[in-house]
Structures are given as structure tokens and as C-alpha cells.
Structure 1
Amino acid sequence: MNVVVDALTRRHVLIVMLETKLLELDCIKELCEKNLDFKEPFTIICVPMSSIRQLIVNEAHEGGLVGHFGEHKTFEILNEHFYWPHMRKDVHNICERCLTCKLAKSKVSPHRLHTPLLIPTTP
């Protein structure tokens, strides 16, 4: 079995999945375009207070082929397309709770039992 070809196929599937998730957000954009309050030439989507905020932050933080961007990069990505009050604080809270990031950025190595080195009996 060719592992390289398999990895390339999976990459294509990931790209298609990401495009699909982004298309799901088009429904919000369409709703904003139909609303008279949003008829002005706004380019940023104002996200209402709901669970979709967490979904959007998680997708920006974990999504993509690279994934798990830092707090600052995640906020920059979101700030280009979305707005809601206290967005930076929400991004901070979600990135701070990310278990994958905590494990990857751990500054303390786990302590293990120290095994003494054997003392050689001959030189």
C-alpha cells in the first residue's frame, strides 16, 4: 500500500471538509443581507450571542491543515470576517482551555523516578 498517495488523498478530503464548513457560514451572511439593518456595505458578519461563537472560534483555532494557532493568530483570523462584543476575551478563554495546546506548550516536563547510573567495576 502506498502511504504517500493515501496521505495526499486524505489531504484532499480535509480541504473539502473545510470548504463545506465555511459554506455553512454562508447562511449567516445571507440572513444579514436580507435584514434591512444590515443592508449597508458591511463586510464583517456580526455574530449573535449563541453557541455558534464557540463553534467559529474552535474552527479558526483548530481548523485548517496546520491547526491550533495561538490566541493572537486565531483572533486575527476571526477579526477579518466576524465581530461580536468581547470577541478577544472569548478567543482567550477557548484557546486557554485547549487541551492539545496545553500539552504541546507545557513548560514542565513530567517528573519520573530517577534511576541511578550503574557504577562500572572495571575501567
Structure 2
Amino acid sequence: MIDYQPGKANVVADALSRKSLFALRAMNAQLTSSKDGSVLTELKARPTFPQEICEAQKSHSELLSKKTQGESDVGPDFQIGFDGCLRFRERICVPKNNELIRKILDEAHSGCLSVHPRSTKMYNDLKKEYWWPGMKRDISEFVSKCLVCQQVEVEHQVPSGLLQPVMVPEWK
């Protein structure tokens, strides 16, 4: 267990003593103080994309009709998940909402867990969790507009003249 000491009580102020309570609350932190003066902070992680997607599905007419079909007659492709979200072959259906798709693509392409994957890798990673019509095309267009990816692509291209076979004399 870590005992938290406020900055004034510490000889050297630590990072926690510099954090304001507002910043901790913004991070969804639960603060509890005990009788001995120590503070316990509990951070709760919450998935944002699945919740945002489920909310966006409610205002998308085509997905709503699929959802009502799924509730009455569960077909082989579309079903309702345990969280109430419409899924296509066990992947969450993302409505054609440019802002939401952009968030998903930004996180998959430039997030802290990925570093500018190419479109094929990015598509293979995203198709495990998400589905929307034209997904592969959207990913390809997104990656093609990334300046970092374009620079890397140019740096790794080999001039066509260098790819010709070289004749090596035989040793006798």
C-alpha cells in the first residue's frame, strides 16, 4: 500500500502532490480520506468507443431497423450483444458518423498503442472489433492522408534501377 503524503509533509514534493483535485476528478478518480490523514485514490478505466458507438446507433435509422430485426429474428450476421449494441459477426456496428469513425481511426493509427501502421495492418487490427460499410476504403484513405506515413513510404522506396539483377563472376 502506498501512503500518500501531501507535498508540504514531504521533503521532496512528488507528482501526486502537484495534481489538483479537479484534475483527478476529471480522470474519473474516487478520492477517499481516512482518519489518519492519508488519501486513497481509485482510478476507474471506462471504455469510451463502445459506449459512444452504442449511443450513436440509437440515432442511425438503418442500424435501428437492423437492431429491431435482430431482436425479433436473430439472423446469422447481425445480433444484439450483451451490452445492447448491434453487432455484425460479433463485431460492433459503427454507424456512418464521420466524427466517430475519425476518432476510431485516429486512436488506431496514432494512439499510444500503435505507431502509424500501414492500411492493411490497421484494417486487420480494427476488423477484429469494428465493422461499418466501406471500412477498408475509409482506412486506406485515412492512412494515405497521413504525412508521417507518406514520408516513411518515400524513404523506404527503392529506385527501380537498383532492383535489376547483378551478374557475379563464378570463382574457379
Could you state the TM-score of these two structures normalised by the residue count of structure 2? 0.43
Give % identity. Answer: 23
Q: 2:50 — aligned with what?
A: 26
Backbone CA RMSD of aligned residues: 3.2
Q: 1:95 — aligned with what?
A: 143
Q: Does 1:55 align with 2:111?
A: no
Q: What one-letter code is carried by the residue in structure 1 that aligns with 2:141? A: N
Q: What are the ranges of 5 or more consecutive residues in structure 2 without an aligned counterpart?
A: 1-44, 58-66, 72-78, 81-86, 158-172
Given that 2:118 and 2:143 are in contact with CA atoms closer than 8 Å, whether structure 1 keeps it comes out as: yes
Aligned equivalents of 1:106 and 1:76: distance in 2?
23
Higher relative helix content: 1
Which structure has more relative contact order (CA 8 Å, sep 6+)? It is 1
Aligned equivalents of 1:56 and 1:97: distance in 2?
16
Q: 2:128 — aligned with what?
A: 80
Against the structure 1 CA distance between its residues 90 and 36, is the aligned structure 2 distance closer, same or farther, given a 3 Å change threshold?
A: same
Q: Deviations over 1:66-111 (max 9, x none)?
A: 41011101001110011111100000000000011112222499xx
Against the structure 1 CA distance between its residues 63 and 38, is the aligned structure 2 distance closer, same or farther, given a 3 Å change threshold?
A: farther
Q: What are the ranges of 5 or more consecutive residues in structure 1 without an aligned counterpart?
A: 1-19, 110-123
Higher relative strand content: 2
Q: Which has the larger radius of gyration?
A: 2
Q: 1:4 — aligned with what?
A: none
Q: Does 1:46 align with 2:93?
A: yes
Q: 1:8 — aligned with what?
A: none
Shift of 1:28: 3.8
Ranges of 4+ aligned residues in structure 1 off by more than 4 Å:
29-32, 35-39
